[in-house]
Amino acid sequence: MSFSNALIAFAGIRILGRPRNPPFLLSVLHQRRRYATNVEVHDNSLTEDFNTLVDKLKTPEHPHTIHRTYPVLVAQLRERRQNLPVPPPLNQRHLVAILQRLGESGRPADLQRIEELLSDTSAVFGVDPSLDIHSIILRALKKNGNLQTMYRWVLHMPRRPGNFNPTIEQFHLVLEACVEYGSFKQMRNMVLSMRKAGCKPTVETFKILLRARWEFAAQEEKIPHVIVFSTILDDMKREGLSYNQSLSDLLFSGYADRGMLAYAEQIRTLYQQQFPHVQSLEEEQNLAWNLKLSQIAQSRGIKAALAMFRSLEKEGCVATSPTIRALLRHSRAPADLQLVTEELKVKPSVDHYSLLISNCIRAGQLSNAMSLYDHAKGEGLRPEAALVAPLIKSLCGTAGPLLEESLDKALVLYQDISACHPATIPGKEKTSYMEHSSGPDPNIYQMLLRGLASSPHLEKYLPIALSLLEDMDARRISKDDSIIASSIVVLHMRNARSPAEALDSYREHRSSLDEKGYAVVLNAYTKLNFGKDIHVPSLMDYFSIVKDMRHAGLAITTEVYTIILQQLSIVATQLNQRWPVDEEDDTIAKLRNMLITTTRRTHDLLTLDANVSPDAHVWNQLMDTYQRLGCFGDAYRVWELMYLSGRFDHVSVSIIFDACGYAAAWQVAKQVRARLSKDGFKLNLHNWNTFIECLCRLRRLEDAVKVVCVEMGKNGEASPDTESVRILLKFAMKSNQQAEVLSRIHRYLPDLWKSLPEELRNS
């Protein structure tokens, strides 16, 4: 039996037929007129004076106005300030109007411009970035229905200008948008991620979640089982929340209003059993005070918060541990901690330093976090899990050439905490996020093992990883965790001398793997090469692991196919870089054919898998892999499927333009662009730049220059940028036409010309 037939028999499917000649060479009915070099193109925003530009930005009618006018204004403002002090030409009200217009549009270019505006707020608008400004952006994105962008925005706020942790109100904005544009699963995952983002969920957060659960159930015309709500109660318990009467009433009324009194009583009883403690009026007042102090410290600074505390002190507010945490919840500076501890006459603690370190890590300030750790040790504080875990997580997540240095630092931190807390008494299992271990906990071992398993220096770190596993045994910490199990599998697989030995290692430790753990193992398996320079992963072995997932009752998702396709794409790129098609020998040709065959078999398995509904991400990966292998016909068939089914995105468009450029398929590129234009699909900046490069590869430099100078930036389309010009010049140099291209840019796009780096203008 051939390998092909063996694979199909193994998977229990039949292979699809594939037409030899896809109908992609279609003629384009409309011929575009030639680019007239003697016709002047006027854009008033490019020739108007400074005051006119300011007036246009005060009441922008369209994002296009902002994109064309704002960079020009900033350039002129920078030029004027070289000679004289010029006050900010716009104010906060104008900033709000611009942000609202861009956010409501919500295209990638609009989001890039918002980032630029936030960096310029002080210079151009006379205000500093604030929480209110971030809230305005989120509300505008909500109007556009841009849920994932909203979620990414709040998660990345600590690293955006101002370095703010998101507020509870901002997270609630995202959750409310999720009710309109998302799913309950997304909402619950968002709530579970809030604490890591520096924003603890409240009772109001879970009320939003509970109401949403009923709304989603109504859309499906179903009644959720009590078990669904019991999992939410478990989440609340881990968050350390107390009994709340209004939440109890909400749980009860959900079923009672639908005539299901038995279920209503059941869920209320369950809630009372899990939350027996009822907050007193004094406890409720303290929580309200602490929330107020935290908000003031975040928006106005620690001194203002301390002044408010002194005022509340007269009403009975006391400097308890929760109060001090509230004051420091958003701080990163040692000066804040010093001010609070001196003012309130308390000693700095591990708890205080862990807050500051976590906030520094969220803001991407690892060096500051390490300095705080050293400062805490200098204060005589013993390392504990709460202190070192954020540092170890950040260090083990480092990528690239700094990984080895970062792992070594993480291991030093581990030695610190391990030495202070010997493996004599096992740590107790946590029941709440509020609890922290003193010594190394499962979370620390997860992060360390995952980092060591990803290191290219296996010989150095494998013995260390094995010693960590021995430490876990000594501390009686279970290894029956998917993250730990996947790291163990990856370490042993990478140390194996053959595919069979690698699979044996996997089978020995697979019992604890969940979907995420299997994804880690599959990804590692595809990268094994067993000493070969370039290795094509075995589909038979790969899908034997996938088969184990099915037998374990785990869901098979598109990620399973994306992982193998991504690795095939990487191998194809390596092959192209080392041996261009016209230079490869018989051995390399066989390797390329093996890659093509493996990709096509994966395509067939994906198409025939009844349990998987392919999304744009996996189709994009398949199309990209085909085009990197030079299989333009296959790539085009995938594009046609995506286009006709409406399951394509901006990434898909860039890939098909790229494929056309390398395959010299000018007619196809014209057809794709014409169809998208007819459908009203707006190309983003990356699409335009890919199309420009496609034209240049097809030796149509004149058309590419026309696109940049005349077509881009019109009717709301993305405007050309420095990269657009860089692409033109890269290809113009091959025919010594760079002077002509630069002349056109200078003539038609004078403001873009001004913003070009010196080396491009002098090309």
pLDDT digits (tens, 9 = 90+) for 605-658: 999 998 888 988 999 999 999 999 999 999 999 999 999 988 888 899 999 999
What pLDDT score was predicted for residue 75? 86
Distances, alpha carbon 263 to alpha carbons 207, 256, 259, 431, in Å: 18, 8, 9, 27
Residue 27: pLDDT band by 50, 70, 90 thresholds? Answer: very low
Sort residue 588 into left (φ over 0), alpha (ψ -120 to 50) or beta.
alpha
Of 476, 377, 387, give the one whose Cα is nearest residue 437.
Answer: 387
Q: Cα(707)–Cα(728) distance, rounded to whole angstroms?
A: 11
What pLDDT score was predicted for residue 428? 53
pLDDT (average), residues 475-491: 92
> Over pLDDT 70: what percentage of the chain?
91
Two structure tokens written together for 706: 């026309």
Helix axes 366-378, 385-396, angle to 10 degrees: 150
What pLDDT score was predicted for residue 402? 75
HSE (CB half, 13 Å, CA atoms) of 542?
27
- 3-state DSSP assignment of residue 716: coil
What pLDDT score was predicted for residue 145? 82
DSSP H helical ranges for 511-615: 515-527, 539-551, 558-578, 586-608
Q: Cα(743)–Cα(753) distance, rounded to whole angstroms?
A: 10
Residue 8: pLDDT band by 50, 70, 90 thresholds? Answer: very low
Of 102, 95, 103, 164, give the one whose Cα is nearest residue 124.
Answer: 95
- 3-state DSSP assignment of residue 278: strand
Q: Cα(648)–Cα(625) distance, rounded to whole angstroms?
A: 16
Distances, alpha carbon 580 to alpha carbons 159, 477, 588, in Å: 42, 52, 10
Distances, alpha carbon 455 to alpha carbons 272, 393, 443, 501, in Å: 49, 15, 19, 20
Of 48, 47, 123, 119, give the one whose Cα is nearest residue 78.
Answer: 123
Q: Cα(270)–Cα(282) distance, rounded to whole angstroms?
A: 26
DSSP secondary structure letter of residue 243: B
Kindly report, residue by residue over 399-451, the tens digit of the pLDDT.
777 789 999 999 999 999 999 998 765 555 555 555 557 889 999 999 999 99
The model's pTM is 0.74
Distances, alpha carbon 288 to alpha carbons 132, 168, 235, 250, 306, in Å: 21, 14, 22, 21, 16
Q: Cα(103)–Cα(524) distance, rounded to whole angstroms?
A: 39
Give the other-Cβ count within 10 Å of 574's Cβ: 12
Residue 278's φ and ψ, nearest 5 degrees, are: -100, 125
Sort residue 530 into left (φ over 0), alpha (ψ -120 to 50) or beta.
left
Two structure tokens written together for 172: 């609630």
Of 361, 304, 312, give the one whose Cα is nearest residue 332.
Answer: 361
Two structure tokens written together for 273: 């059993």
Least confident span in 26-30, 93-97, 171-175: 26-30
What pLDDT score was predicted for residue 40? 32
What pLDDT score was predicted for residue 3? 41
581 versus 139: the higher-pLDDT residue is 139
Q: Is 469 exposed, middle or buried (0-12, 13-18, 19+ CB in 10 A)?
A: middle
What pLDDT score was predicted for residue 37? 29
What pLDDT score was predicted for residue 16? 37
DSSP H helical ranges for 301-384: 302-313, 321-328, 334-344, 350-362, 366-378
Kindly report, residue by residue over 516-559, the tens digit of the pLDDT.
999 999 999 999 988 767 788 899 999 999 999 999 999 898 99
What pLDDT score was predicted for residue 581? 64
Residue 582: pLDDT band by 50, 70, 90 thresholds? Answer: low
Kindly report, residue by residue over 110-140, the tens digit of the pLDDT.
887 898 899 899 999 999 999 999 999 999 9
Q: In this model, does residue 26 exceed pLDDT 60?
A: no
What pLDDT score was predicted for residue 431? 54
What pLDDT score was predicted for residue 604? 95
Positive/negative CA dihedral, 361, 367, 370, 371: negative
Two structure tokens written together for 146: 């841009």
- 3-state DSSP assignment of residue 498: coil
What pLDDT score was predicted for residue 168? 93
Two structure tokens written together for 631: 């299989």
> Which stretch of DSSP H or E encloses residue 740?
helix 738-748
DSSP H helical ranges for 609-649: 616-628, 632-645
DSSP secondary structure letter of residue 75: H
177 and 147 Cβ atoms separated by less than 8 Å: yes
Q: Cα(720)–Cα(526) distance, rounded to whole angstroms?
A: 39
The per-residue pLDDT of the chain, averaged, comes to 87
pLDDT (average), residues 730-738: 93
Q: Percentage helix, strand, coil, to 5, in the chain? A: 70, 0, 30
Kindly report, residue by residue over 152-200, the tens digit of the pLDDT.
999 999 989 988 999 999 999 999 999 988 889 889 999 989 988 888 8
Kindly report, residue by residue over 46-71, the tens digit of the pLDDT.
345 888 899 999 988 888 888 888 98
Q: Cα(190)–Cα(378) distance, rounded to whole angstroms?
A: 37
What pLDDT score was predicted for residue 36? 31
Q: Cα(5)–Cα(12) distance, rounded to whole angstroms?
A: 10
386 and 392 Cβ atoms separated by less than 8 Å: no
What pLDDT score was predicted for residue 665? 96
60 residue type, one letter: P
574 versus 603: the higher-pLDDT residue is 603
Residue 12: pLDDT band by 50, 70, 90 thresholds? Answer: very low
> What is the longest distance spanned by two Cα atoms in the chain?
87
Two structure tokens written together for 236: 């609340």
Give the other-Cβ count within 10 Å of 140's Cβ: 22
What pLDDT score was predicted for residue 44? 39
Two structure tokens written together for 345: 């006459």
Q: Which residues fall within 8 angstroms of residue 396, CB to CB, at 6 or more apart?
A: 406, 407, 410, 447, 448, 450, 451
Residue 23: pLDDT band by 50, 70, 90 thresholds? Answer: very low
Q: In this model, does residue 6 exceed pLDDT 90?
A: no
Please report, for the chain, how many H helices and E strands are present, in that order: 40, 0
> Over pLDDT 90: what percentage of the chain?
64
146 and 139 Cβ atoms separated by less than 8 Å: no
Least confident span in 423-427, 453-457, 470-474, 541-545: 423-427
CA–centroid distance for 25 within its chain: 38
Cβ density class 88-126: b for 16+ within 10 Å, e for less: bbbebebbbbbbbbbbbbbbebbbbbbeebbebbeebbe
Q: In this model, does residue 719 exceed pLDDT 50?
A: yes
What pLDDT score was predicted for residue 530? 81
Q: In this model, does residue 18 exceed pLDDT 60?
A: no
pLDDT (average), residues 245-253: 94
Kindly report, residue by residue over 349-394, the tens digit of the pLDDT.
999 999 999 999 999 999 999 999 999 999 999 999 999 999 999 9
Q: Cα(181)–Cα(336) distance, rounded to whole angstroms?
A: 40
214 and 246 Cβ atoms separated by less than 8 Å: no
208 and 237 Cβ atoms separated by less than 8 Å: no
Q: In this model, does residue 21 exceed pLDDT 50?
A: no
20 versus 498: the higher-pLDDT residue is 498
Q: In this model, does residue 204 exceed pLDDT 70?
A: yes
Of 339, 338, 461, 344, give the one whose Cα is nearest residue 404.
Answer: 461
Q: In this model, does residue 42 exceed pLDDT 70?
A: no
